[in-house]
Chain A
Amino acid sequence: MTTTRPHTEPAPLGRSGLARTVTSDTGRVVRISGPVISATDLPHTRLFDVVRVGTERLLGEVIKLDGDLVVMQVFEDTTGLQVGEPVEATGEPLYAELGPGLLGGILDGTQRPLENLSTDGNLYIARGADPHRLDRNRHWDFRPAVEVGDRVGPGDLLGSVPEGHAIEHRILVPAGAAGIISAIHPGPATVLDPVVDIDGHPIAMLRRWPLRRARPVADRLPLTVPLITGQRVLDLLFPVARGGSAIIPGGFGTGKTVLEQALAKFSTADIVIYVGCGERGNELTEVLEEFPQLTDPRTGAPLMERTVLIANTSNMPVAAREASIYSGITIAEYYRDQGYDVAMMADSTSRWGEALREVSSRLEEMPAEDGYPAYLATRLAGFYERAGAVQCLGTPERTGSVTVVGAVSPAGGDFSEPITQNSLRLAGCFWALDTALSRQRHFPAVNWLRSFSQYGLDAWFDREISADWSPLRRWAAASLQDEGVLQEVVSLLGVEALAAEQRITLRIGQALREDLLQQSSFDDLDASCPPQRLLAMLRVVHEAGAAMRSALQQGVAITDITAASVLADLGRMRRWPADNIHESASRLIQRIAEEMSSL
Chain B
Amino acid sequence: MTTTDAQSPFTVGHRTVTRVAGPLIVVDGMDGVGYGELVEVETGDGPVREGQVLELDGSTAIVQVFGGTVGIGRRQTSVLTRGRAARTGVGNDYFGRVLDGAGRPRDGGPQPVPDDYRHVNGLPLNPITRAHPDQFIETGVSAIDGLITLVRGQKLPIFSGAGLPANSLAARIAAQARVPGDDAEVVVIFAAMGVTRREAEFFRTEFLTGGAAARSVLLLNLADDPTIERLLTPRVALTMAEYLAFEQHRHVLVVMTDMTAYCEALREISAAREEMPGRRGYPGYMYTDLASLYERAGRVRGGTGSLTQLMILTMPDDDITHPIPDLTGYITEGQIVLSRDLDRQGIQPPIDVLPSLSRLMNAGIGVGKTRDDHRGLADQLYACYARGREVRRLMSIVGESGLPTEDRRYLAFAAAFERTYLGQGPARRTLTDTLEVGWQLLAPFPAAELKRVSAEHLAHYHHEASVTATDA
A: residues with CB less than 8 A from B are 30-34, 77-84, 106, 114-115, 117-118, 121-125, 251-253, 278, 280-286, 288-289, 311, 313-316, 318, 351, 354, 357-358, 361, 364, 367, 370-371, 409, 411-414, 439-441, 490-496, 514, 522, 559, 565, 568, 571
Pairwise interchain contact B333-A282, C-beta atoms closer than 8 A: yes
Q: B residues within 8 A CB of A253?
A: 329, 334-335, 355, 357, 359
With A123-B246, A278-B291, A316-B124 as known contacts, state yes or no: A31 contacts B33, CB within 8 Å: no
Pairwise interchain contact A79-B386, C-beta atoms closer than 8 A: no
Pairwise interchain contact A282-B132, C-beta atoms closer than 8 A: yes
Pairwise interchain contact A80-B34, C-beta atoms closer than 8 A: yes
Pairwise interchain contact B386-A281, C-beta atoms closer than 8 A: no
Pairwise interchain contact B126-A114, C-beta atoms closer than 8 A: yes
Residues 93-140 (chain B) with a chain A CB within 8 angstroms: 119, 121-133
What residue in chain A is nearest B323 (Cβ atoms)? A411
- Identify B35's interface contact among A30, A32, A286, A559, CB under 8 A: A32
By DSSP majority rule, is chain B's interface helix, strand, loop, or mixed? Answer: mixed
Flag the segment in B51-59, B160-168, B257-265, B459-467 that touches A. B51-59
- In this complex, the member of A78, A314, A315 whose beta carbon has the largest number of chain B beta carbons within 10 angstroms is A315
**Binary interface profile of B, 282-305, with partner A (CB < 8 Å = 1, else 0)?**
001101100110011110101000
**A257 to B56 CA separation, bound complex (whole angstroms):** 39
Pairwise interchain contact B451-A81, C-beta atoms closer than 8 A: no
Known contacts A123-B300, A314-B295, A367-B276; 9 further A-B pairs (Cβ under 8 A): A106-B127, A281-B124, A288-B127, A311-B127, A313-B124, A439-B386, A440-B386, A491-B397, A496-B402
What residue in chain B is nearest A36 (Cβ atoms)? B55
Pairwise interchain contact B56-A32, C-beta atoms closer than 8 A: yes
Q: A residues within 8 A CB of B359?
A: 253, 283
- Between-chain CB contacts (< 8 Å), 7 pairs: A32-B57, A314-B288, A371-B276, A440-B383, A441-B379, A493-B398, A568-B449
Q: B residues within 8 A CB of A288?
A: 127-128
Instruction: Report the minimum CB–CB distance from A150 to chain B (whole Å).
Output: 43
- Identify B326's interface contact among A364, A370, A411, CB under 8 A: A411
**A283 to B121 CA separation, bound complex (whole angstroms):** 22
Q: Is B354 an interface residue (CB 8 A)?
A: yes
With A31-B56, A282-B333 as known contacts, state yes or no: A496 contacts B132, CB within 8 Å: no
Inter-chain residue pair count (beta carbon < 8 A) = 213
Pairwise interchain contact A285-B123, C-beta atoms closer than 8 A: no
- Identify B36's interface contact among A78, A251, A367, A495, CB under 8 A: A78
Ranked 8 nearest A-B pairs via Cβ? A314-B291, A412-B321, A124-B123, A79-B36, A315-B295, A252-B329, A494-B398, A80-B34
What residue in chain A is nearest B290 (Cβ atoms)? A314
- Identify A118's interface contact among B59, B126, B334, B355, CB under 8 A: B126
Pairwise interchain contact A494-B331, C-beta atoms closer than 8 A: no
Q: For chain B, which range describes its interface: under 10, 10 to 19, 20 to 34, or 35 or more residues? A: 35 or more
What residue in chain A is nearest B405 (Cβ atoms)? A559
Q: B residues within 8 A CB of A121?
A: 302
Instruction: Report the minimum CB–CB distance from B282 to chain A (whole Å).
Output: 10
Q: A residues within 8 A CB of B330?
A: 252, 409
With A84-B31, A411-B326, A441-B382 as known contacts, state yes or no: A77 contacts B123, CB within 8 Å: yes
**A412 to B355 CA separation, bound complex (whole angstroms):** 14
Q: A residues within 8 A CB of B55?
A: 31-34
**A314 to B59 CA separation, bound complex (whole angstroms):** 32
What residue in chain B is nearest A559 (Cβ atoms)? B404
Pairwise interchain contact B383-A441, C-beta atoms closer than 8 A: yes
B: residues with CB less than 8 A from A are 31-37, 55-59, 85, 119, 121-133, 153-154, 246, 275-279, 284-285, 287-288, 291-292, 295-298, 300, 302, 321-323, 326-327, 329-331, 333-335, 354-355, 357, 359-360, 362-363, 375, 379, 382-383, 386-387, 393-394, 397-398, 402-404, 407, 448-449, 451-452
Pairwise interchain contact A114-B127, C-beta atoms closer than 8 A: yes
**A594 to B121 CA separation, bound complex (whole angstroms):** 69
Pairwise interchain contact B326-A114, C-beta atoms closer than 8 A: no
Pairwise interchain contact A81-B130, C-beta atoms closer than 8 A: no
Q: A residues within 8 A CB of B56?
A: 31-33, 82-83
With A441-B379, A491-B394 as known contacts, state yes or no: A285 contacts B131, CB within 8 Å: yes
Pairwise interchain contact B284-A568, C-beta atoms closer than 8 A: no
Pairwise interchain contact B321-A414, C-beta atoms closer than 8 A: yes
**A357 to B404 CA separation, bound complex (whole angstroms):** 53
Pairwise interchain contact A522-B375, C-beta atoms closer than 8 A: yes
**A445 to B242 CA separation, bound complex (whole angstroms):** 36
- In this complex, the member of A253, A278, A288, A351 whose beta carbon has the largest number of chain B beta carbons within 10 angstroms is A253
**A313 to B331 CA separation, bound complex (whole angstroms):** 10
Pairwise interchain contact A313-B85, C-beta atoms closer than 8 A: no
What residue in chain B is nearest A276 (Cβ atoms)? B127
Instruction: Report the minimum CB–CB distance from A271 to chain B (whole Å).
Output: 21
Pairwise interchain contact A123-B129, C-beta atoms closer than 8 A: yes
- Identify B292's interface contact among A31, A280, A315, CB under 8 A: A315
Q: B residues within 8 A CB of A354?
A: 284, 287-288
**A82 to B58 CA separation, bound complex (whole angstroms):** 9
Pairwise interchain contact A358-B284, C-beta atoms closer than 8 A: yes
**A122 to B404 CA separation, bound complex (whole angstroms):** 63
**A283 to B333 CA separation, bound complex (whole angstroms):** 9
Q: B residues within 8 A CB of A81?
A: 34-35
Q: B residues within 8 A CB of A33?
A: 55-56
**A196 to B208 CA separation, bound complex (whole angstroms):** 73
With A32-B35, A123-B125 as known contacts, state yes or no: A318 contacts B288, CB within 8 Å: yes
Instruction: Report the minimum CB–CB distance from B184 to chain A (whole Å).
Output: 20
Pairwise interchain contact A281-B295, C-beta atoms closer than 8 A: yes
Instruction: Report the minimum CB–CB distance from A106 to chain B (whole Å).
Output: 6
Q: A residues within 8 A CB of B334?
A: 253
Q: B residues within 8 A CB of A413?
A: 321, 326
What residue in chain A is nearest B407 (Cβ atoms)? A495
**A421 to B233 CA separation, bound complex (whole angstroms):** 38
Q: B residues within 8 A CB of A117?
A: 126
With A117-B126, A316-B124, A370-B279 as known contacts, state yes or no: A79 contacts B85, CB within 8 Å: yes
- Identify B451's interface contact among A357, A371, A514, CB under 8 A: A514
Pairwise interchain contact B331-A314, C-beta atoms closer than 8 A: yes
**A411 to B328 CA separation, bound complex (whole angstroms):** 11
- Identify B285's interface contact among A358, A440, A494, A495, CB under 8 A: A358
Pairwise interchain contact B300-A361, C-beta atoms closer than 8 A: no
Q: A residues within 8 A CB of B321?
A: 411-414
Q: A residues within 8 A CB of B355?
A: 253, 439
What residue in chain B is nearest A521 (Cβ atoms)? B362
**A363 to B452 CA separation, bound complex (whole angstroms):** 53
**A409 to B35 CA separation, bound complex (whole angstroms):** 31
Instruction: Report the minimum CB–CB distance from A87 to chain B (whole Å).
Output: 14
Q: B residues within 8 A CB of A440?
A: 382-383, 386-387
What residue in chain A is nearest B404 (Cβ atoms)? A495
- In this complex, the member of A80, A282, A414, A514 whose beta carbon has the largest number of chain B beta carbons within 10 angstroms is A282
**A522 to B246 CA separation, bound complex (whole angstroms):** 30
Pairwise interchain contact B130-A281, C-beta atoms closer than 8 A: yes
Q: B residues within 8 A CB of A252?
A: 326, 329-330, 335
Pairwise interchain contact A124-B331, C-beta atoms closer than 8 A: no
**A121 to B247 CA separation, bound complex (whole angstroms):** 12
Instruction: Report the minimum CB–CB distance from A330 to chain B (whole Å).
Output: 21
**A396 to B119 CA separation, bound complex (whole angstroms):** 57
Q: A residues within 8 A CB of B394?
A: 490-491, 494
Pairwise interchain contact B128-A80, C-beta atoms closer than 8 A: no
Pairwise interchain contact A361-B402, C-beta atoms closer than 8 A: no
What residue in chain B is nearest A565 (Cβ atoms)? B448
- Identify A371's interface contact among B278, B333, B357, B375, CB under 8 A: B278
Instruction: Report the minimum CB–CB distance from A81 to chain B (whole Å).
Output: 5
Pairwise interchain contact A80-B37, C-beta atoms closer than 8 A: yes
Q: B residues within 8 A CB of A490?
A: 394
Pairwise interchain contact B35-A568, C-beta atoms closer than 8 A: no
**A251 to B326 CA separation, bound complex (whole angstroms):** 8
**A314 to B122 CA separation, bound complex (whole angstroms):** 14
- In this complex, the member of B85, B330, B363, B452 whose beta carbon has the largest number of chain A beta carbons within 10 angstroms is B330
**A492 to B125 CA separation, bound complex (whole angstroms):** 52
Q: A residues within 8 A CB of B363?
A: 286
Instruction: Report the minimum CB–CB distance from B298 to chain A (whole Å).
Output: 6
